[in-house]
Amino acid sequence: MWRSVFLHEFIDHRIDNFQALPGRPQPPSFLLAPQRDPATGVNSILIRGGSHFDYRFTTPLTDIIGISGRVRLHYPAAQPDFAFPILDLGSASLAIKTESSPTDVSTTLTSPALSIGASFSPFRLVNLPATRYVDFRFDWSTSGQARILQDGQLVAYRHSASPGAAITVDRVVFGLPNIQPGPGVPSYRIARVFVRLLSRVDTLAFISRLLPDVKLDDDPKNRCTQTAVAGLLAMADRLRQFMATVHPALSRSWSAQSGPAEGPLDELAIKAHALAVKAGAELVTMLRTGEFGAPNRFLIPFTRFLRILHDTKPAEFDALAAELLNTTVVEDDCKKMFESAAKEHYAAFQPLIDLLTTANTQIQRIASGGK
């Protein structure tokens, strides 16, 4: 579902030794030379004013609804307060502003900010380790959740960062491309850059690959299949819109530096996430193995997850359930084609159809006030 699009680990002295989707580094990139950091022994590049790596994809990546960007960097303390970009992906970027030069030279107080499209989402204060390299990571999804992690630990969270956005990623840029060198410009080192993306169609394509292969002989141009896919994508978008209303109700903007002490997520949010992960894993296992003999392994966590969503946003949940019930994914003539194909593949599809029918019944039962 997630796709790796860029990886540079500076394993030798060649700046052009990296992995990426088809594209081309821009000329300023070749002025950089990975070198062994004399202080730590880590192979990295030194970033000063103006120095940067700029990679442009041959074909821009469109309809992106999820980003995971990771940078291993070393930013020493006791440098001037400064705002600098960490990673620029075109329609999305992550930047940091150093707030002060602390007396404790082991950390630098920073304010990260994430830009998605035209929206700007500042995080709360974060301490950036300054005596070593740190794996600095940000994750964003179109449901509005954005996280910053250091060395695998969550240090900042926002629950409403550009909900509903779908962006285009046409580049990977890191360094200081628009900042002229000078005495007030600090320097830092980068030792690894890794970018993964999620597009709208990737999840649906992943599920589709797990289903039995069915050919519609009466639909040689795949019109009905394409219509069904478009309808399912629209339903998925509607579900994401609903989740964007749930996250602010079950979480709060947070950082490890400024709290609150109980963290960003309510107890129900943690429980809902665990249930959703379990239900999703069980469904994928069933699709992969074709074993549907224990449907409650999926249905029980799925129903408990639905109950949390309903109790958190009952009016919105009921409206969503009614909308899904009345949604027509395919036209009548296409429906007949699918039904005809299903008869031929009845044995393969019937367990899945029964499972999803029961799941839909659960949605409607909860929406109507059932227990």
Q: In the chain, which ranges are E strands?
A: 3-8, 19-20, 23-25, 35-36, 43-47, 52-74, 83-90, 92-98, 107-116, 119-122, 126-129, 134-141, 146-150, 153-158, 167-175, 188-199, 254-255
Binning pLDDT at 50, 70 and 90, where does residue 72 land?
very high
Residue 79 phi, psi (nearest 5) = -115, 165
For residue 146 the two structure tokens come to 């954005």
Q: Is the pLDDT score of 304 beyond 80?
A: yes
Please state, as a whole number, how many other Cβ atoms lie within 10 Å of the Cβ of residue 255: 21
Of residues 170 and 295, more confidence is placed in: 170
Residue 7 phi, psi (nearest 5) = -150, 120
Q: Is the pLDDT score of 338 beyond 70?
A: no
What does the angle CA 67 – CA 71 – CA 77 come to, to the nearest 5 degrees?
A: 135
Please give the average per-residue pLDDT across 265-290, as a whole number.
90
Please give the average per-residue pLDDT across 59-64, as a whole number.
95
Q: Is the pLDDT score of 101 beyond 60?
A: no
The strand pairing partners of 4, in sequence order, are 196
HEC sequence for 267-283? HHHHHHHHHHHHHHHHH
343-364 confidence digits (pLDDT tens): 665 565 677 677 777 887 888 8
d(CA 41, CA 44): 9
The number of residues in the chain equals: 371
Question: Widest CA span of the chain, in angstroms?
Answer: 74
209-247 confidence digits (pLDDT tens): 666 565 555 555 566 666 666 776 777 788 888 899 999
pLDDT at residue 21, as a whole number: 97
d(CA 154, CA 138): 10
150-161 confidence digits (pLDDT tens): 999 999 999 999
Please give the average per-residue pLDDT across 39-52, as a whole number.
90
For residues 308 and 279, the answer to whether their CB atoms sit within 8 Å is no
Domain at 3-199: CATH code: 2.60.120.200
Of residues 21 and 128, more confidence is placed in: 21
pLDDT at residue 56, as a whole number: 98
Domain boundaries, the chain: 3-199, 211-367
pLDDT at residue 84, as a whole number: 86
Please give the average per-residue pLDDT across 313-339, as a whole number.
75
Binning pLDDT at 50, 70 and 90, where does residue 102 land?
low
pLDDT at residue 71, as a whole number: 95
Mean pLDDT in the chain? 85
Share of the chain above pLDDT 90, in %: 49
Binning pLDDT at 50, 70 and 90, where does residue 290 land?
confident
Of residues 82 and 78, more confidence is placed in: 82
pLDDT at residue 158, as a whole number: 94
pLDDT at residue 347, as a whole number: 60
Residue 26 in 3-state DSSP?
A: coil
Please give the average per-residue pLDDT across 1-14, as a whole number.
93
123-169 confidence digits (pLDDT tens): 988 888 888 999 999 999 999 999 999 999 999 999 999 999 999 99
Which of left, alpha, beta for 151 (phi over 0: left; psi -120 to 50: alpha)? Answer: left
Of residues 84 and 68, more confidence is placed in: 68
Binning pLDDT at 50, 70 and 90, where does residue 183 land?
confident
Question: Which of 81, 91, 94 lies closest to 57 in space, CA to CA?
Answer: 91
pLDDT at residue 225, as a whole number: 64
pTM reported for the whole predicted model = 0.84
Question: Which of 152, 89, 158 lies closest to 117 in space, CA to CA?
Answer: 89
